[in-house]
Amino acid sequence: MIILSKLADYGVIVATHLASVAPNQVNAVHLAADTRLPQATVAKVLKLLAKAGVVSAVRGAAGGYRLARHAHAISVAEIVAAIDGDFAMTQCTSKIGPCDRLHYCPTRPHWHRINQAVGDALGSVTLADMIQPGRPVPSLSPQFNIETTAP
């Protein structure tokens, strides 16, 4: 099973909510309430998304956050990368550290292709796609077709 970090998942939730209210800005307190996420977590996510240029912040009493670009121009991959860094499914393809099996593993050369395929899949879904209820997610490849369903 491949699972994104909880913080990356929350990043997608926060960014999707901002896409749903665009072009309006929302302060962190209201964003936490609207998404039912802890306020400290939302603040941390917003800081990471702002640093990556996904959201922009306006300071002051009337301040808040909004998407830095249109929802069509921001992919789920960009949000995940802003929170978790570069995508890697195995240690040998990550920047965490060298794998003990590095020199004799027969699968190592193939993980980069797999990472690329998963990254491309996440990159093909935008925030605009995420706010469309029941709308099929774009086809990942000719072999895969994932659809979303309305709750």
Ramachandran region of residue 122, left (φ > 0), alpha (ψ -120 to 50) or beta? alpha
In a domain, 146, yes or no: no
Q: E strand or H helix at 65, and its extent?
A: strand 64-67
pLDDT at residue 141 above 60?
no
Check if the beta carbon of residue 14 is closer than 8 Å to that of residue 41.
no
Q: Quick one: pLDDT band at residue 91, thresholds 50, 70, 90?
A: low
**3-state class (DSSP) for residue 41:** helix
Q: What is the domain-level CATH number for residue 52? A: 1.10.10.10
The pLDDT value given to residue 98: 67
Please choose, from the candidates 96, 90, 151, 84, the residue with its C-alpha nearest in 3D space to the C-alpha of residue 122.
Answer: 84
Give residue 111's pLDDT band: very low, low, confident or very high (50, 70, 90): confident
Query: Is the link from the previous residue into 138 a cis peptide, with omega within 30 of 0?
Result: no
**Per-residue pLDDT at 96:** 63
Q: Which domain holds residue 121?
A: 6-130
Q: Which helix (H) or strand (E) holds 56?
A: strand 55-58
- For residues 70 and 67, what is the distance between their CA atoms, to the nearest angstrom? 7
The beta-strand segments (E) located in 55-140 are 55-58, 64-67
In a domain, 10, yes or no: yes
148 domain residue, yes or no? no
Taking only the tens place, the pLDDT of each residue in 36-83 is: 999 999 999 999 999 999 999 988 877 899 999 999 999 999 999 999
Output the pLDDT for position 49: 97
| Within-domain flag for 56 | yes
Number of domains composing the chain: 1
Tokens coding 114:
């797999």
> What are 64's strand-pairing partners?
58
